[in-house]
């Protein structure tokens, strides 16, 4: 992909997120971006300083079809104490995003400060992904 095309995708992604999650009593704490900007405009991933912490997307296949499903992440922080439930469904995208952020905050409170090893793992992933244009 060209750099200009990537910038336009990122700008469109931000506009979509702001439209979907604006006008709510809740304020985002972490970075949200479209998981696959070229495919789905209702599928977001959350990051905290480069660490994937969760995902929100519109459910189209289960008995909760039409609602937004959310799930917690933290794939690079192996010591992270994952609170239960680790996933769920909400009526609105902002409610599901709030659930992801609350899940992550609860896990951080139970686990303690994030170790430096996590930052190194994230940096390694970014370096490997750069080779493939990610």
For the stretch 81-120, pLDDT in tens is 999 999 999 999 999 999 999 999 999 999 998 888 888 8
pTM to 2 decimal places = 0.74
Are the CB atoms for 64 and 37 separated by under 8 Å? no
Strand-pair partners of 51: 48
Extended beta strands in the chain, E state: 31-34, 43-48, 51-58, 68-72, 87-90
User: In whole angstroms, what separates CA 116 from the centre of its chain?
Assistant: 21
Q: Point out the residues of the chain with pLDDT beneath 50.
A: none
Q: How far apart are CA 80 and CA 103, in angstroms?
A: 12
């Amino acid at each position: 992909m060209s750099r200009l095309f990537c910038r336009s995708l990122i700008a469109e992604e931000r506009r979509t997120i702001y439209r979907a999650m604006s006008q709510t009593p809740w304020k985002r704490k972490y970075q949200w971006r479209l998981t696959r900007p070229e495919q789905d405009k209702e599928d977001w991933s959350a990051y905290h300083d480069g660490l994937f912490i969760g995902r929100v997307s519109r459910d189209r296949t289960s008995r909760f079809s039409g609602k937004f499903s959310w799930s917690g992440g933290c794939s690079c922080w192996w010591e992270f104490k994952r609170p239960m439930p680790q996933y769920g469904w909400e009526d609105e995208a902002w409610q599901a995003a709030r659930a992801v952020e609350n899940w992550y905050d609860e896990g951080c409170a139970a686990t303690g400060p994030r170790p430096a090893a996590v930052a190194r793992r994230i940096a390694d992933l970014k370096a490997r992904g750069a080779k493939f244009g990610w």
